[in-house]
Amino acid sequence: MSKAVKPLSIILLAIVVAAAAAVYLSRQPNPVTETSAAPVLDNKGGGHFRGPEKAAITLVEFGDYQCPSCGAYHPVVKELMNRYPQQVRLEFHHYPLISIHPNAMAASLAVEAAGEQGKYWEMHDLIFEHQEEWSANPNPESQFLALASRIGLNANAFMQAVRSPQLQDRVLQDVVRAREAKIEAVPTFFIDGERIHVPLSINAFVDIIEARLHK
């Protein structure tokens, strides 16, 4: 028994030191997000809006439809919009990271094309909800078309819009905005122009919104 005391003490000590080191490292400001990304987003326009124009809070999201993290945040943001239908307005900007997400640009164009027929947010939701299905497909156009049909879009007009240079420009303008804001990771959120780091939980979003509403 006494023989085991020393190793057991070392093991316990190591666990405590490792935990302290991990807590210390996790509390360090991230050099990518804290030093290179702009803490404040200048209002440069663009984006698509969901929620009332005169909402007390504007939540800006820079997202990539093929990014699993954005897909994970999507139901949380949607739930937030349901909880604060009058107080929060969502402004979504495309930031397709095409170097790691080859279908992200096509997905952004599909959503923009749906927007041309007045169904931007319906397609936005569907694209995120079916992300896993189309992400692995080297040619996801037919899947986007099937999703477009589900929300009653005109297939010909949708396909024409997908190939339209104007829509491509619209997405690229968002990419320029993201780069100007030095955004490195997606999704990146801003509330009323101020960058926020929100854990993947509805409660965390609610806490931030409540704090802003009662400021």
Partner 1 sequence: MKLRAVLMALAAFLGMVDALFLSLQRNAGPIPCHITKGCNDVLTSRYSAVVGIPLSWFGLGFYVTVFSLAVFSIFETGQPAGNPLRWIFYLSGIGLMISALLVGIQAFTLRAFCEYCLLSAGLVLTIFLLSPHASPRKHSP
| Residue 33 binding partner 1, by CB under 8 A | yes
Map the footprint of partner 1 across residues 127-146, applying CB under 8 A.
132, 136
Residues 6+ apart with CB under 8 A from 196: 189, 190, 208
> Of all helices (H) and strands (E), which one includes residue 93?
strand 88-94
Please name which of 88, 93, 133 lies closest in space to residue 111, comparing C-alpha atoms: 93
Is residue 7 involved in binding partner 1 (CB under 8 A)?
yes
Does position 14 interact with partner 1 (CB under 8 A)? The reply is yes
Angle at 98 between CA 173 and CA 68, to 5 degrees: 105
d(CA 203, CA 38): 25
- Answer for the pair 170, 133: CB distance below 8 angstroms, yes or no: no
Any contact of residue 152 with partner 1 (CB under 8 A)?
no
The verdict on 18 binding partner 1 (CB under 8 A) reads yes
Site for partner 1 contains 77 (CB under 8 A)? no
3 contacts partner 1 (rule: CB under 8 A): yes
> Residue 181: beta bridge partners?
none
Please report, as residue ranges, which positions from 170 to 199 form the binding site for partner 1 (by CB under 8 A).
184-188, 197-199
- How far apart are alpha carbons 35 and 37 in whole angstroms? 6
35 binds partner 1 (CB under 8 A): no
Q: Which is nearer to partner 1, 69 or 82 (CB)?
A: 69
Strands 57-63 and 88-94: parallel
Q: Does 104 bind partner 1 (CB under 8 A)?
A: no
Mark the segment that binds partner 1 (CB under 8 A) among 4-12, 114-122, 146-154, 207-215: 4-12
* 188 three-class SS: strand
59 sits in which H/E element: strand 57-63
Q: Segment contacting partner 1 (CB under 8 A): 15-23, 49-57, 104-112, 118-126?
A: 15-23
Shortest CB 45 distance to partner 1, Å = 24
- CB-CB contact of 58 with 14 (8 Å): no
Smallest distance, Å, CB 137 to partner 1? 13
Among 35, 43, 69, 142, binds partner 1 (CB under 8 A): 69
Which residues of this chain interact with partner 1, rule CB under 8 A? Answer: 3-4, 6-7, 10-11, 14-15, 17-19, 21-23, 25-26, 30-33, 67-69, 71-72, 97, 99-101, 132, 136, 184-188, 197-201
